[in-house]
Amino acid sequence: MKTAGTGFRLAAALAVIIILITGGRPLREHRQFPVEIVCGPGVTEIRPLSHYLPALKDTPADTPVFILRGTETGGAALIMGNTHANEPEGMLAVAIMIENALVEKGTLYLIPFFNRSASLNTRPGEGYPLYFSLLTPWGQKKFRLGNRDASPLDQWPDPDVYIHYPEKQMLSYLDIRNTNRTWPGRRNGLPMEQVTFAAMELLRRERVDMAIDLHGAETMFPVTNCIVAPEKSMRIATLASLTVKSMEGFENHLESSPEKFRGLSHREIGDYSDTLPFLLEAPIPFLDQPTGAKTEQLFLDGRDDFLLSLAGQKKLFVPYDQSGWPLDRRVGQHLSVTLEIIRQFSRKTPERAVVIRNVPRYSEIVTKGTGSYFHHPASAEKDRVVKL
């Protein structure tokens, strides 16, 4: 028999369904939104990461590896963006290389969406925008803003405690979905362990000399605006850091990779392969906790009054003024430091040199803007446009 209570329960159920549909739809659209990258003339092959571990094939964790093989044989470098997809400066730097770089000697392996599942994940609970757009010569180019960890839709449930393989260190349960805690990975592990295992296979099989993992960090965190490197990479990292500081005029310092903190690319790649690892951090004010609203504008220009006040109290680890820390500076830093690491390695080891042309450096990105280096997908040949 129908009662007033039943009517109320029906109305409440209907309200919950409406909230779920209207709240869920933008998240579904975000997950399906394609980011288009136009392959420049330097791209000679595209291969899925699952080439190095077939178990990843046809999963949301698989991701394209863009290969730029030079005309002359030499060494090899792997560059990864979006290990943390809420730090997309690295992805933009790698995408600019895919669209523009020409390799004269050696081979570049470029992975713009290293943790592709994290790029499909969102952070709505903290009010993060779902997208950001860049102004290009042909209009606005829109990108997904992802999260730090792989989506629980792709890897779940999490363990109570994540026990790192093979070092057995106990880490936070969340880090099992963080591809900068799952190195060197495991062939039969969970998807994110398989992503890092496949990348280790790439490094070993392709005899990669350098692996550069591009990140960003809070201005209130000491490990920012720097290169993190283990002992074996430190000589090249030091030369690169000193050169960009003196020649290009932006701050950059060195941090040594702690031996006892496991799972990070700058530690495990060096310990489990012959490759020299480097991890680059650029300051992202948007990631700091004490800021105003997490808007797309804050993400793009890095300007915030709370941070400005904290800078006056010397609470930040980077110089900070009214100009903030715009995206162009962050992307430009990544490109300059990456190019400088490769150049310094190539000078020291000429038989394994990697020689690259046509990639903008810091001052060019700051002057012209990140967006000016992206090509219009509609004007490119269809088979040269990759949807990520």
Place of tokens 């790698």: 94
The DSSP call for residue 277 is: E
Report in angstroms how near the CB of residue 208 gets to Zn ion at its nearest: 21
d(CA 76, CA 352): 7
Site string for Zn ion, 202-231 (x = CB under 5 A): -------------x----------------
* Structure-block tokens of residue 164: 């790192």
**Contacts of range 95-98, beta carbons closer than 8 Å, 24 or more positions apart:** 95/37, 95/374, 96/331, 96/335, 96/359, 96/360, 96/370, 96/373, 96/374, 97/68, 97/335, 97/356, 97/359, 98/37, 98/39, 98/40, 98/43, 98/66, 98/68
Site string for Zn ion, 294-323 (x = CB under 5 A): ------------------------------
Report in angstroms how near the CB of residue 367 gets to Zn ion at its nearest: 27
Q: Which stretch binds Zn ion (CB under 5 A): 49-57, 78-86, 131-139, 342-350?
A: 78-86
Place of tokens 């110089």: 319
Could you say whether residue 84 binds Zn ion (CB under 5 A)?
yes
Number of residues that bind Zn ion (CB under 5 A): 3
Report in angstroms how near the CB of residue 9 gets to Zn ion at its nearest: 46
Report in angstroms how near the CB of residue 216 gets to Zn ion at its nearest: 6
Report in angstroms how near the CB of residue 328 gets to Zn ion at its nearest: 19
d(CA 309, CA 344): 39
Place of tokens 């009010």: 127
Report in angstroms how near the CB of residue 33 gets to Zn ion at its nearest: 22
Could you say whether residue 181 binds Zn ion (CB under 5 A)?
no
Q: Which stretch binds Zn ion (CB under 5 A): 80-88, 101-109, 166-174, 223-231?
A: 80-88
Q: Which stretch binds Zn ion (CB under 5 A): 5-13, 44-52, 86-94, 235-243?
A: 86-94
Rg (CA), the chain: 21
Residues lying near Zn ion in the complex (CB under 5 A): 84, 87, 215
